[in-house]
Chains A and B, each alone.
Chain A
Amino acid sequence: MIEKTILLVEDNADDEVLTLRAFAKNNIKNQVVVARDGAEALDYLFAEGAYEGRDTNDLPQLVLLDLKLPKVDGLEVLRRIRADTRTELLPVVILTSSREEQDLVQGYRLGANSYVRKPVNFDDFLEAARQLGLYWLLLNEAPPRRSG
């Protein structure tokens, strides 16, 4: 089975590079689609704008969603994902650089599945990515066959 995609919604190019690197280090081989802002993420998910014509049934296995985004912010993206029947069950993990409770509380209230704090220490980030992969890509979904 072809690994499903991961949608990474991240405006910071450095963080994008580092996230992809962390996935690679953890053997997460899923294809990663990067959206640079909230609007682009929504376009991708609902096959609108630049993504018009994309098959909306082809949902990513996981959305990694930064909260601070230009145009449409992360919480709003989350709200729209949960409001649409096509995407309401989509696993969404919030990426946040702070532990500000208001963000997390709000995120959980809107139906986020989990959150990952972007640590300064890259090693910690690697660990977070590993957990992320383990749980959301392997354990959370009973896969038809075990990945090598």
Chain B
Amino acid sequence: MGSQIRVLLVEDSADDADLLMWELKRGGFQPESRRVASRESFTGALEEGDWDIILCDFTMPGFSGAEALEILHRRGIDIPFIFVSGTLTEEMAVAAMRAGAHDYIVKDRLKRLVPAVERELRDATARHEQARDRQQRALAERRFREVLAMAPDAIVAADGAFRITLYNRAAEALFGHSAEEAIGQPLDLLLPARFVANHRDHMSDFAALPGGVQRMNERIEIFGRRKDGEEFPAEAAISKLVEDGHVTFMTVIRDVSERRALEAQLRQAQRMEAVGQLTGGLAHDFNNLLTVMIGNLDLLLERIDRDSEVAAMARVALEASLRGADLTRQLLAFARRQRLEPKAFDMNERIASTIELLRRTLGEPVEIETQFAADLWPVLADPAQLESAFANLAINARDAMPGGGRLVIETANKQLDDDYVAQNADVAPGSYVMLAVSDSGAGIAPAILDKVFDPFFTTKEMGQGTGLGLSMVYGFAKQSGGHVKIYSEIDYGTTVRLYLPCGDGRQREDAVAVGTESPVPGGDAKILVVEDSAAVRQVAVNHLRAFGYRVVEATSGREALETLAADDTIDLLFTDVVMPGGMSGPQLAQAARKRRPDLKVLFTSGYAESAIGSAPGAGLDGSLLSKPYRKDELARKLREVLDAGGGES
């Protein structure tokens, strides 16, 4: 076989070298060789590298085969090394062997050379392959070791006696024990005491399963214990390895407290939503009951002498119910937090009526001054929210003036230009409607001025006022695409300016004038009252009769449809929006209008208008009167609907 080999000859005799080459050629090799005879030339040749075999004389002047072998070994170079010597002694043989030569050939028996070289080349190949394999294994190990080190999860291995044998960096971070502290300890170290027994049972069962490498479970949920004793929820993957009867358990542990916290947050959020919904539902009941209270007191007041003591007492009760209605509206608007749809409306009007409601709450020592811009642009916001925000501002102002003082309420049109925006990052330039509430109170220290909108911040004790705070105002402004500015000077007072986007005014909101005392317009139209609550129905019916209307009653949508079918002289349908029994007010109106397209409709509801708007199939096609309502509100609204042209009021 004419295989090419590179031979390094360490030989002082050129003749001997030629002889060796000749022998190799004869043996079928195509040797390429270099002869060296000194330490320097030998190391130089090694550095140039890539020799297949070294044939080395035992003794040379100034250099020896033993030295050459030693250099080779020191450098960790694995090249077949065969001594070729003129003489051989036992000592030399033993020494050569001990030194790690691969073979030993006596020059006068050169016929052994070729088989020896062939064999050594073969062995060397096998050795190199083995070394490469080992190297690859080591490499793989390093990779895995790296994976282990960098693993975002804690990795802990334990032996059959559940003693920790491996413990990575993430485990150190997770459990708090250093690897030194943990290795050799029982696995129980990492578990809450109450789970230890259970865990041991589990692991023993697992250990008893037949088979080598095994995964116990995709993921199991466990609790871990940190060095400081703190417990945390974790997710673990466990595998078992059996080798030569030795068991190793490997556990990959991931701290899931963050996820648990997220889940808990989610549950909390859902809980909150549940309470929110509940409170929303409560609005209906509260407002029905308030309608009954207000309605019956209104009715009573009509029957008795205005100036009597009885009337005075009834008015106290009535005022209390109006206050209850006001509070209910504010509190529920706050608690509900449903998607409230902003609309364009006249802020002056709304604020004016709210001031009337607030007068009693604010108390006599507070002097109220209004500076309303006459040409105020319509504001685009949620009216109920605006009321709440304003009430909060007014109540805060009052609280800032315990001994009384001046409350100035101002409205104005404002253009916020780029300069202003540059200084107030959270607002866009444009046209705004401003509401400013100023007090003559003690003022707020500059240090806490920027904290007053913080939801946690309160200068009040829990339980004073509504406790809802300025955070609501801030939230409202941000939600509405507006902006709040607070300005305060110690001893002079505080001004809060609320900037709200301006609306185009096309969708004017229906005016709500609670408690105004203008003459009540009546009529003789025939009205169908649909209301499931008997007490509320009674109030409505009594009011309507008092206005002169003819009244027919129904307690459900179905009953109302029957009545309508039987009586085509009914002019107007006055119906609750949310009713039990499968048919809502809007559905009733729709069905009724199919038969009577000219039928006029007035809805009433204890839910906020916006909440109804988002209810499925609501589609309010008509005017809405919110509960609780006063007698005269009802009268005015009815007149409006009856006077509007056609049936599409």
Contact = CB atoms under 8 A, between A and B. Distances in A.
Q: Touching in the complex, A and B, CB below 8 A?
A: yes
Interface of A: 14, 67-68, 70-71, 73, 103
A39 to B, nearest CB: 10
B320 A14 contact: yes
B581 interface: no
Contacts of A103: 463
Contact of A71 (B316, B320, B402, B463): B402
Interface string B301-331: 0000000000000001000100000000000
Interface in B512-528: none
A83 B477 CA distance: 46
Contacts of A67: 463
Interface of B: 316, 320, 402, 461, 463-464
A14 B316 contact: yes
Given A70-B402, A73-B461, 9 more contacts: A14-B316, A14-B320, A67-B463, A68-B463, A68-B464, A71-B402, A73-B463, A73-B464, A103-B463
A71 B402 CA distance: 8
Contacts of A73: 461, 463-464
Contacts of A71: 402
A104 B463 CA distance: 14
11 contacts: A14-B316, A14-B320, A67-B463, A68-B463, A68-B464, A70-B402, A71-B402, A73-B461, A73-B463, A73-B464, A103-B463
Nearest to B462: A102
Shortest Cβ-Cβ A-B pairs, 6 listed: A68-B463, A73-B461, A14-B320, A71-B402, A14-B316, A70-B402
Contacts of A70: 402
B224 to A, nearest CB: 35
A70 B461 CA distance: 10
A67 B463 CA distance: 9
A14 B360 CA distance: 13
B366 to A, nearest CB: 13
A71 B464 CA distance: 10
Contacts of B464: 68, 73
Nearest to A13: B316
Nearest to B320: A14
Nearest to A67: B463
Contacts of B461: 73
A73 B462 CA distance: 11
Nearest to B319: A14
B321 to A, nearest CB: 12
A68 B465 CA distance: 10
B362 to A, nearest CB: 13
A42 B215 CA distance: 74
A43 B591 CA distance: 68
Contacts of B402: 70-71
Contacts of B463: 67-68, 73, 103
Nearest to A102: B462
A103 B402 CA distance: 24
B436 to A, nearest CB: 26
A67 B464 CA distance: 10
A113 B320 CA distance: 31
B292 to A, nearest CB: 14
A142 to B, nearest CB: 37
Most chain A CB inside 10 Å of its own CB: which residue of B316, B402, B463, B464: B463
A103 B464 CA distance: 13
A43 B464 CA distance: 22
A103 B461 CA distance: 13
A115 to B, nearest CB: 15
Nearest to B363: A70
A73 B464 CA distance: 9
Nearest to A37: B402
Contacts of B320: 14
A73 B463 CA distance: 10
Nearest to A71: B402
A75 to B, nearest CB: 9
Nearest to A74: B463
A103 B463 CA distance: 10
A32 B464 CA distance: 26
Nearest to B461: A73
A27 B264 CA distance: 56
Contacts of A68: 463-464
Contacts of A14: 316, 320
A70 B463 CA distance: 11
Contacts of B316: 14
B314 to A, nearest CB: 13
Nearest to B463: A68
A14 B402 CA distance: 21
A68 B463 CA distance: 7
A20 to B, nearest CB: 14
A130 to B, nearest CB: 23
B395 to A, nearest CB: 13
A68 B460 CA distance: 12
B199 to A, nearest CB: 40
A14 B463 CA distance: 19
Nearest to A103: B463
A68 B467 CA distance: 13
A120 to B, nearest CB: 11
A61 to B, nearest CB: 28
A71 B460 CA distance: 11
Nearest to A98: B463
B460 to A, nearest CB: 10
A71 B320 CA distance: 24
A14 B319 CA distance: 11
Nearest to B399: A70
A29 to B, nearest CB: 23
A104 to B, nearest CB: 13
B147 to A, nearest CB: 53
B137 to A, nearest CB: 67
B441 to A, nearest CB: 15
A68 B461 CA distance: 10
Most buried by B among A67, A71, A73: A73
